[in-house]
């Protein structure tokens, strides 16, 4: 009868102590799980680097190797999510090359960028940086979050009025997120600000010019060229089409904008082809269409270089033509937020390959404009 139970104070104290111990235990378990996940990512990163070393031996000069390339080429068996072993990891290995000390053998270093969707984490290696990101379900460099791109298509003649609109509405090679606003070059030249907007209040994301042989022999006006220059200086993106910039035509107001493409107009040759080769792979070649890796050949309507020499990033060159450098056989190049493409020579036609190239370059320009990708990706 004299046996006593715990008092309320003792019970509360016991619960409090158990809570503290549980909290310490849970915290320790969470740290252990996080450390294990980190180690799993490290292992996956080093495995992808080992596979990339073999890939580089077979593809000299490659700058980016995507996980898809490693899997498709059987350089690696699988790339599994460290959390649940599912095969939903995506990413790339950036290959950094420099001449070795003997001047013959190249030295390589590697950076891995990857993302495993169900974890909702992105990972960088060798920084060993693991972080949460809303874009993780696609790629660490994902630009799919772009929901709409307003594209001003300044067309040179009636045949091209709905040209870009139709290409981007093609379910096989267009993208409905690209909203095309067509305007004739005559109307644009008369009042460019009414279509572009003004500094701090631009109405469009990307402006597109050309897409017809010689741009139908039509140039910008001095006024529209000046407004376009202001637009580019403020971070706006422009895509210049075939023979907008060229010394062979009387296009002084287009030509004065060549420095914004880091392009010279007095070199190169006249190189015609119906095929182009990817000479540089990166985010542009991945989204919204994976158009290929370095060395992939794509089919286009017949087009050519007319003295243009690109000093920016050359992505595609004409196949089967002989020149001393990629720059002189340029089909597509970019510089900062702007692009030059040899689309439009053959009666304003475009193959499905070319339409995909155009969709990709529009997204790439918007992504660069928004700071989602850097100049070297």
Residues 324 and 253 in one domain: yes
Residues 214 and 353 in one domain: yes
Is residue 247 included in any domain, yes or no? Answer: yes
User: Among candidates 370, 372, 310, which has minimal Cα distance to 341?
Assistant: 310
Residues 157 and 288 in one domain: yes
DSSP 117: G
Identify the CATH number of the domain in which residue 249 sits. Answer: 3.40.50.880
Instruction: Return d(Cα 180, Cα 160) in angstroms, integer.
Output: 12
Q: What is the Cα 244 distance to its own chain's centre?
A: 24
Helix intervals (H) in 73-184: 163-169
Q: What pLDDT sits at residue 32? A: 65
Is residue 233 included in any domain, yes or no? Answer: yes
Instruction: Show which of 132, 159, 176 is a domain's final residue.
Output: 132
Is residue 65 included in any domain, yes or no? Answer: yes
Residues 127 and 210 in one domain: no
For residue 239, the cross-strand partners are 208, 339
Q: What pLDDT sits at residue 109? A: 85
197-198 and 178-184: which strand pairing?
A: unpaired
- Tens of pLDDT, residues 155-198: 999 999 999 999 999 999 999 999 999 999 999 999 999 999 99
- Tens of pLDDT, residues 47-56: 888 999 999 8
Comparing 140-144, 222-226, 282-286, the range with the smallest average pLDDT is 140-144
Residues 86 and 159 in one domain: no
- Tens of pLDDT, residues 311-349: 999 999 999 876 667 788 899 999 999 999 999 998 888
Instruction: Return d(Cα 330, Cα 307) in angstroms, integer.
Output: 10
Residues 55 and 94 in one domain: yes
**Residue-number span of the structural domain to which 113 is assigned:** 9-132
Instruction: List phi, psi (to 5°) of 315.
Output: -100, -40
Range 275-297 average pLDDT: 89
Say how many domains are in the chain.
2
User: Among candidates 93, 146, 82, 91, which has minimal Cα distance to 118?
Assistant: 82
Residues 31 and 122 in one domain: yes
276: which 2 tokens? 């182009």
The angle formed by the CA atoms of residues 350, 353 and 355, to the nearest 5 degrees, is 50
- pLDDT at 25 > cutoff 60: yes
User: Among candidates 281, 227, 245, which has minimal Cα distance to 59?
Assistant: 281
Range 269-274 average pLDDT: 82
Q: What pLDDT sits at residue 30? A: 67
Instruction: Show which of 107, 132, 157 is a domain's final residue.
Output: 132
- pLDDT at 296 > cutoff 60: yes
- Tens of pLDDT, residues 27-85: 666 676 667 777 888 888 888 889 999 998 888 878 778 887 888 888 988 777 776 77
Helix (H, G, I), strand (E, B) or coil at 354: helix
Which range is most confident: 52-56, 128-132, 182-186, 261-265?
182-186
Residues 127 and 155 in one domain: no
Instruction: Return d(Cα 340, Cα 250) in angstroms, integer.
Output: 18
Residues 128 and 199 in one domain: no
Residues 123 and 172 in one domain: no
DSSP 139: -
Instruction: Return d(Cα 237, Cα 228) in angstroms, integer.
Output: 10
Residues 308 and 339 in one domain: yes
In this structure, are residues 294 and 280 in contact, taking their beta carbons and an 8 Å threshold?
yes
Q: Is the model more confident about 148 or about 306?
A: 148
């Amino acid at each position: 009868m004299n046996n006593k139970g715990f008092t309320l104070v003792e019970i509360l104290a016991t619960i409090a102590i158990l809570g503290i111990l549980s909290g310490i235990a849970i915290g320790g378990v969470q740290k252990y799980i996080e450390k294990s996940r980190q180690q799993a990512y490290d292992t996956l990163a080093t495995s992808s680097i080992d596979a990339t070393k073999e890939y580089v031996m077979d593809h000299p000069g490659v700058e980016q190797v995507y996980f898809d390339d490693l899997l498709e080429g059987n350089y690696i068996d699988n790339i599994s999510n460290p959390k649940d072993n599912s095969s939903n990891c995506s990413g790339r290995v950036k290959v950094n090359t420099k001449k070795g000390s003997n001047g013959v053998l190249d030295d390589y270093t590697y950076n891995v960028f990857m993302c495993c969707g169900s974890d909702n984490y992105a990972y960088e290696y060798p920084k060993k940086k693991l972080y949460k990101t809303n874009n993780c379900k696609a790629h660490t460099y994902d630009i799919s979050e772009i929901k709409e791109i307003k594209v001003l298509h300044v067309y040179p003649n009636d045949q091209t009025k709905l040209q870009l609109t139709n290409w981007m509405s093609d379910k096989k090679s267009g993208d409905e997120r690209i909203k095309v606003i067509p305007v004739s070059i005559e109307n644009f030249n008369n009042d460019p600000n009414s279509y572009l907007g003004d500094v701090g209040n631009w109405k469009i994301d990307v402006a597109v010019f050309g897409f017809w042989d010689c741009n139908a022999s039509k140039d910008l006006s001095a006024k529209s060229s000046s407004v376009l220059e202001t637009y580019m200086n403020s971070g706006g993106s422009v895509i210049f089409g075939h023979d907008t910039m060229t010394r062979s035509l009387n296009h002084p107001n287009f030509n004065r904008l060549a420095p914004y493409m880091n392009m010279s107009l007095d070199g190169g040759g006249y190189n015609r082809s119906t095929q182009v080769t990817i000479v540089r792979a990166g985010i542009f070649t991945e989204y919204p269409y994976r158009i290929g890796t370095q060395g992939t050949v794509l089919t286009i309507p017949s087009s050519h270089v007319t003295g243009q020499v690109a000093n920016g990033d050359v992505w595609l060159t004409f196949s089967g033509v002989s020149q001393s450098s990629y720059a002189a056989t340029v089909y597509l190049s970019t510089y900062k937020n702007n692009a030059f493409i040899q689309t439009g020579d053959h009666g304003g036609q475009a193959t499905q390959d070319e339409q995909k190239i155009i969709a990709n370059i529009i997204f790439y320009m918007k992504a660069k404009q928004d700071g989602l990708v850097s100049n070297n990706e």
